[in-house]
Amino acid sequence: MCGIIGVINKSSKIDHELFYLMRDTLSHRGPDGYGSYFSDNNQIALGHRRLSFLDLSDAGIQPLANEDNSIWITINGEIYNYIELREELKAKNHVFKTETDSEVVLHAYEEWGTDMINKLEGMFAFGIWDDKKKKLILARDKFGIKPLYYFFNQNQLIFSSEIKSILKDPQIERKINFTSLCEYFIYRYVPSPATIFENIYKLEPAHFIEIDQDLNFTIEKYFELTTDELKYSRKKIIKEIDSTLRKSVGIHIRSDVPVGSFLSGGYDSSLLVKYFSEFEKGFNTYSIGFDKWENSEHKFAEVVAKKFKTQHHSEVLDATSLDILDKLMYYYDEPIADISIIPTFQVSELAAKNNKAVLSGEGADEIFAGYTWHREYLWHISKAQKRDSKKWGWELPINNFDVESYSKAMAMGSFGIEELKELLTPQLHEFIPDDCSAFYRKFYNSDLPIPKRFQLMDIRCFMGELVLTKIDRASMANSLEVRVPFLLPQIAESVLKLKPSVYFDRKKQKIILRSILKKHVPKEIINRKKQGFTGPDSYYMDFDWYRKNLEDSQLEKAGIIKKETIQNYLNNKDHWRLWKLAVLEKWFTNWMIN
């Protein structure tokens, strides 16, 4: 995987030394090499930091050009159908000088223009400069696996894999978008296309931009997941998914360097390891556990690793690992309050000691309806709780499969309008949105059946904005590429075209994957209760840690957060809201103070 950057100046010349500094802030994404392209008029630049997997020779250094140097590309990604596309393009007389998948994208653009983007299977973000048409093309993959940010004003456009390289330009003001700050508290992340910074944006998944040299640009969506209500037999779809997933793992382990796999002992990663073992023996697997926790997933991972004879590596975290949050906020660029950002970083750091790429199970819960909020209740309710609710008239968290239910499931310390007013100082109240579920509402379709209406929201909101951002930054901070075999569009569409009764069971999780896996792993893996990659609640309930990290709050000194509200959260032991505050405090200190 790699880091990419590019600049278009409308009239001024590019400062080469500054451009190199901006490019090299991405060296963690690409420690194996670097390159740059500057146009003849010195108003266009493309840069690249390389983490090499295919064609390890210098021929694979980017930016890459076509035969007459009229088209240049800088790309971050892996194209898994590049061999097939390469043969098709060779038949059309295209000549290749490298063995890379990157050059395939370049020639595909030559042949098909922007129509080629929809032909690409894989994860990618790229910039293509077409010197004949004087146009820059920016594109991002269908699910948003790889990031792409851009800064825009009337004189300049800068794009990059990460915001930090854009901010390396001293002329770009670090100014908070306070609407985005409010949305961070609501969603746990800043939804696309905005970022936490004014004038810096995210390109949304499955979109591309065309920009001319006068900085006129258009943004288009090139792909939309389709759904249907076909009634396949469950036996038929199990066979189809089994075959497709096996092929997907096979193409995801194509590499000129060894590939490993994350392994949690859950259905998703265990199934990937099972397929992986059919192609290769003795590969590395990695897991993270938590000290003094009976549900620590490293114990289950070791069971699966033993079954498939992998070389397993695990690490157990204790409460001191919370202190890594300072470091993470540098790599994340924006505040992101998912509670698994720490173990995700740690398992990536562990894997990077032996591998440059690993497989991971992102996408399986979204596609196969595996989350707890796909059930009758928004979170797990025991039989005893159901009994007591009838006896005492307690209100259970019923799931109505509407936007309000989804918002409750996602909140982890909810912030509505009144809560934001309590938290933020009065001068910021004008930025509080009128609708605290507006981003979810954009992707909600009440005409879809249960749980499909939530699955589509998960893919675009939870996965596209939070899960994939988390895994990209945590892995790339450690110069590690994470590959996600579940996230092939044909896998998602093969499930979403079905009646939910074929693939969804209210009592058993992910019945398609369960059916494939149950013949191959012990019952303790099959019968294991679903849990996220989070650790025990006690890990995030260290109130002395919150007090220490928020008592001299920079957010409070800057007139953003009310001091008395922080104290109220501490008094009430409101750990989820404190967690969001602590993440924002660390981000603010890193990016706005230091």
**Where in the sequence numbering do the catalytic residues fall?**
2
- Are the C-beta atoms of 17 and 45 separated by less than 8 Å? no
CA–CA dist 402, 404 (Å, integer):
5
Structure tokens at 87: 């043969």
Residues 6 or more apart whose CB falls under 8 angstroms from that of 415 comprise 182, 185, 186, 423, 436, 577, 580
CA–CA dist 95, 5 (Å, integer):
26
- Give the N- to C-terminal CA distance of the chain in Å, as an integer: 29
Structure tokens at 144: 């948003």
Residues 6 or more apart whose CB falls under 8 angstroms from that of 140 comprise 124, 125, 146, 147, 148, 203, 204, 205, 206, 207, 208
Report helix, strand and coil shares of the chain as percent, to nearest 5. 45, 15, 40
Which sign, positive or negative, has the C-alpha torsion 321, 327, 333, 335?
positive
Structure tokens at 253: 């382990």
CA–CA dist 218, 209 (Å, integer):
6
CA–CA dist 454, 482 (Å, integer):
25
Residues 6 or more apart whose CB falls under 8 angstroms from that of 571 comprise none
Structure tokens at 107: 């020639």
- State the Cα angle at 464 between 356 and 502, rounded to 5°: 100
